[in-house]
Structure 1
């Protein structure tokens, strides 16, 4: 027994090779479609399995669990959920240009509802799939390869007769790359393929006379027609899609907007998001003309109704919906597919070119198989016709033979030694026989009724038909024009039977522009309770409910409704809140969490200070941290556009405990957890930038930390309750910043 060898290698090389192998496996064998049939492996295997199970379009439905289990066991050794998900998508008419699976049961909805479990749903192949994807598989037109455990054979690619990559599009995320191909109209795609076959010098621009652009199953409007040429030439780009909005008149001169088609990208959770976005526009007074919104969509189609006030500016409101919601969205195009075993980004012409090459390969293999079959038939037919002419001799040979072997030898090679003949003439004629092996077998298996006159006549007619077919097949295989005409004729039949009208409108539209109504500036009172729910009310409403407001709310700030609030947290951040984003109304109306209108995280941050941004513009703010660091920053530094900035740089395990407006003639009193107090002049607080650390305010003992910060005016009486007695802050000894302070008696 030989000794084991240890192969030394660089770890990074092993990782690199392993990762590349993994990446290519994901790219080629899972995530990207093949340019020839436009299918990913899981889709191809599922359709082929349904074909093998005999679940045809004209047969009864079968449980999806049966299909998924069979596919997983025979061809696709991955999770059942991934197979079922692929099956469901192929049955959803709102995702595919042409559905490939005829689903029965709950296969999900356009609004994002998931399909029922596979044990409840049923499916069968669609007629489109049966005729265009799986026809002629028995004619050796594609290669079959072993499955994962080499117990079955599966097609390397399905013999799809139309460019499915364009018709149904594709979406997939691989390793380091992704594909995103829009759906197209079947009739237009077939027209483009036929035009290319007649003249392969056509440019992408000329092909686009037939393929106007994407045709999404959800309809909608593509509004950047001029960009499509560069997208189809390069295979990458961005398509802008809008939903279709119609205006309907209501009673009393009112109008309503009805959305009847949505952008393809809004499928699923996007519809709910759109409804929420419209509600937010209403709540923040940006779309005050909207009275009500309802989703009346059903199986018949999309219908989202937005009711408007009388005299509302419909055009401006429609443009606002395009601009502020996903009613206008972008579809990123990246036409990436596997071609010749490698991932490649292709333009429109390249995809059609690959498809046409594939069609000629399929047709060549198909007609070679058919020709071989007809030639075999011709051989046998000629043998039977010849046999009928000398049938008496053949009967004499059969009666004189001891076994089939002798009879066959006589028929094929004229061997007469072991056969008894009635006459020497018969023996001489038998010696001249030279039937082929196939012919001899057919003669020996021929039934006696074939000798009837009409049967012989039918055999001769069949022979003539076979000769015609052979001539036709040879013509198709030997002449490009003949093969082209056969493929084109087939495509025209598919177009007649399966093509439908275009759903998506292609046009150039001006960018949506709307005028935001200027909000009338007015004073409001900001209220926020201890749970973080905030709202604004009119000052008169606050005054009428002052006692209740003061007791129920943690923060109360008077400000202008056009301004911003600055919220400082213990993590050293400052978050800004637009007052326009907060609900404005009655005193008892519930507010909204400030997390919803800012970057504040109520689970990981605590509010240290909250103020009106405009009020602190010309002031100074003093910051103090748990570790005794202090600084003052000019308020103008916090006049920024960003929603969140760093207001104080903190050291490890430090946090902000106090932010206050500070004036030059004030005095600062710092109180520690252990009861040390230090008083010094406000002028001693160093001026710093907002992102600076600050300077030491008080020297802390081990395990001590700064707990409170007080600001007192010159000559002002200031008393706090410390322990069981009152402590007069203004009577504390004035010292210098950075000292240890004096320990107070509790």
Structure 2
């Protein structure tokens, strides 16, 4: 038993296992093969549809049947991955060349979901059938066992075009990802033909044919000068913009119409774009927007933004480019499986791989066709020879006891046991010497083949077969001849399936938006106890000050260009621009403060809110649950970040009070056990916000600070304590950092 135990380092096993797993995901799941531009799930789905006979000119079949058959035979990774793949291959807004013809609801460009597989139907598109699967019966690619070795599947499809470039690809593997943009079919074919004619062409030479990506959604690529480096390295960023037009609207208004969107906005991106535009108006970044509507239909994209009469359209368009996804970046990483390995490939390397694959499949195809024609020639020559001596053949057949004897005579000239009419016939029979294939064909030949016209057709067919053999031999032996055949096929595909370029390739300047200066004015910030905040007109606040202060937890006057500061029990400071808050009427609800800040309602409580400009003028006093106190200069909280640490806390401690110091002379601490301590504010030292502070009251075991009160000179203030009224001014002023007095009323 011991000799069967293998001792090894655990880390080595883990490393090898992870590498095996990663390579399995990379090669067998996530990345396309550069030769056919397909991931395994796409290849298996298309091959299964081919086997099911779902040709482009035949009826559709339920998607559920296709998915189930593919999963059962070739791709045992769940039906959702197969159906999602099938759906994408039907969508002309994602694929420049849809590979599947779908019937039913397969989703749309705005992100609406596709119907379930039991409702939709599909079949192969014409280009897929004719140029991806047509030559599978000609031994052009290797077939490998499926996952349980009950079926065989092609290791790659014999695709006649550089599909990896034309349709592009996106996928995430382990530690790597592929992202290749789609390209125009006619341009890619022209580049492929040019490369076959001169394989010394550089990427720069090839880009005379391929201008750049051609997205199904159109748009404008604005960094043309950077494309060469992207295609030479296989990585980079393509900047794309939507297409914008202007129209005259109602009442002299201007309509900004978006007719093409960036490829990255496919799906929910359109809804996000519209909400982003609406947010520009809500946050008062622009006051030019009157309305926005999505009027898109089957005819194409049409998003209309209605603008005011005096709007600077160019400046507003630049705002959209800067603040929304109307201008976006497409990250390029042309990673594919090449010779069994994941490689980031340049345009030239992709062309080389595709050209090599075309020559490889053409060689195997014409080798198969040549063998087929040679076999046919052998049979035809045997039949012609047999027709010339048909009487002798009939005599052999009639004189033989069985098929084997007749065949032996035709092939080997063995006449023993066969009854001939004459010695001359026997002698001639011994000299026939047909091949075995010819003999089988003669024995299976039907009598109608002896009709004169049939004989004439046989001779013509033989002549055509000889011509085909000569043609195929020339193709296989002459590289130029094979190249001409491949190029001829490519030109036919281009002629039938070419389409005009949709994406404009250009150099455009970076969008510059000139913000209109905001007119600074006073507004009132108000927030209720539920955390809903807004700003209102300052005059409205002054008229209703008492009511607002009674109904709202926080309220104060501030500048509309300023920030609101929120101090929380966790010691954090959250800042919110007044511009980010909706301005409305006093009875409007407002928005939750956590919608415009990093405030976490589940973990934090707001202790105090104030205008940042007010904090700059004063000092701030912090008191914690463990009775740690300090004064901080308000200028330290003039920060640009949305969230910073306002004070340092010990483990288990939290802030219970934050106070802006004006004329407060004494501070009174009340503990949970009923102890009171009154001392002068001046005895608390000023420290930095990163400091912990000093002790205010000596607390007993398990006791903590419950409340903090402040008094000015001669000020009277009463609180409820033990269900009775306590005058705070009657408490004796003592020293900080003492136990205080337990008050019993």
Taking the aligned partners of 2:685 and 2:373, their CA distance within structure 1 comes to: 101
Structure 2 runs not aligned, ≥5 long? none
- Cα deviation digits, residues 551-575 of structure 1 (max 9, x gap): 4322111100000010111111111
Tell me, in whole angstroms, the C-alpha distance in 1 between the residues paired with 2:274 and 2:550. Answer: 36
In structure 1, C-alpha distance between the alignment counterparts of 2:263 and 2:455, rounded to whole Å = 64
Shift of 1:665: 6.6
Report 1:345-364 matches (<5 A): 345-364=344-363
CA distance in 2, matches of 1:256, 1:553: 42
* Distance apart, 1:697 and its partner CA: 2.1
SS of 1:292's partner is: strand
Q: Return the offset for 1:305.
A: 0.5
Q: Which residue of 2 aligns with 1:71?
A: 70
Look up the match of 1:379: 378
After the TM superposition, which of the residue ranges 39-48 and 601-610 deviates more from structure 2? 601-610
CA distance in 2, matches of 1:132, 1:548: 77
Distance 1:87 1:320 in 2: 38
In 2, the alpha carbon distance for the partners of 1:58 and 1:200 equals 38
Aligned to 2:154: 155
**Contact 1:537-1:584 within 8 A present in 2 as well:** yes
The answer to whether structure 1 residue 447 and structure 2 residue 446 are counterparts is yes
Q: Which runs of 5+ in 1 are unaligned?
A: none
1:642 corresponding residue in structure 2? 641
CA distance in 2, matches of 1:537, 1:663: 26
TM, length-normalised to structure 2: 0.98
> Distance between the aligned counterparts of 1:692 and 1:85, measured in 2?
56
**Alignment correspondent of 1:235:** 234
Q: Give 1:663 deviation, angstroms.
A: 5.3
CA distance in 1, matches of 2:279, 2:363: 61
Q: Secondary structure at the match of 1:614?
A: helix
1:626-684, Cα deviation, whole Å (9 max, x unpaired): 12222221111111111111112222222211111135872222111111112222233
Whether the 8 Å CA contact 1:664–1:683 is kept in 2: the answer is no
Distance 1:535 1:121 in 2: 49
Structure-to-structure mapping, 1:255-654, within 5 angstroms: 255-654=254-653
RMSD: 1.4
Do 2:664 and 2:711's aligned partners in 1 also have CA atoms closer than 8 Å?
A: no
Q: Deviations over 1:270-295 (max 9, x none)?
A: 11111111111111222201100011
Q: Secondary structure at the match of 2:615?
A: coil
Aligned-residue offset at 1:240: 0.6
Closer, same or farther in 2 for the Cα pair 1:474/1:86, shift >3 Å? same
Cα gap change, 1:617/1:127 in structure 2, threshold over 3 Å: closer, same or farther?
A: same
Matches within 5 A, 1:44-59: 44-59=43-58
- Once the two structures are superposed, the pairs formed by residues 664-683 of structure 1 within 5 Å of their partners are 666-683=665-682
Between stretches 221-230 and 722-731, larger displacement belongs to 722-731
Tell me the secondary structure at the aligned position of residue 615 of structure 1: helix
Deviation per residue, 1:47-91 (Å, 9 max, x gap)? 111110111111111111111111110000011111111111111
SS at match of 1:94: coil
Deviation (angstroms), 1:4: 7.9
Q: Deviations over 1:345-393 (max 9, x none)?
A: 0111111110000000010000000000000000011111111121111
Shift of 1:148: 0.4
The question of whether the paired residues in 1 share the 8 Å contact of 2:664 and 2:710 is answered with: no
Matched positions, count: 745
- Distance change >3 Å, CA 251–CA 732, structure 1 → 2: closer
Distance 1:55 1:268 in 2: 29
Instruction: Tell me, yes or no, if the aligned pair for 1:663 and 1:682 is still in contact at 8 Å.
Output: no
Deviates more, 1:554-563 or 1:587-596: 587-596
CA–CA distance in structure 1, aligned partners of residues 619 and 665 of structure 2: 12
Matched, 1:113 2:112: yes
2:17 is matched with which residue?
A: 18
- Give distance in 1, aligned partners of 2:269 and 2:544: 41
Counterpart Cα distance in 2 of 1:604 and 1:95: 43
Q: Is the 8 A contact 1:662 1:711 kept in 2?
A: no
Contact 2:240 2:330 in 1 (8 A): yes
Give the alignment's TM-score, normalised by structure 1: 0.98
What secondary structure does 1:398 align onto? helix
CA–CA distance in structure 2, aligned partners of residues 465 and 745 of structure 1: 121
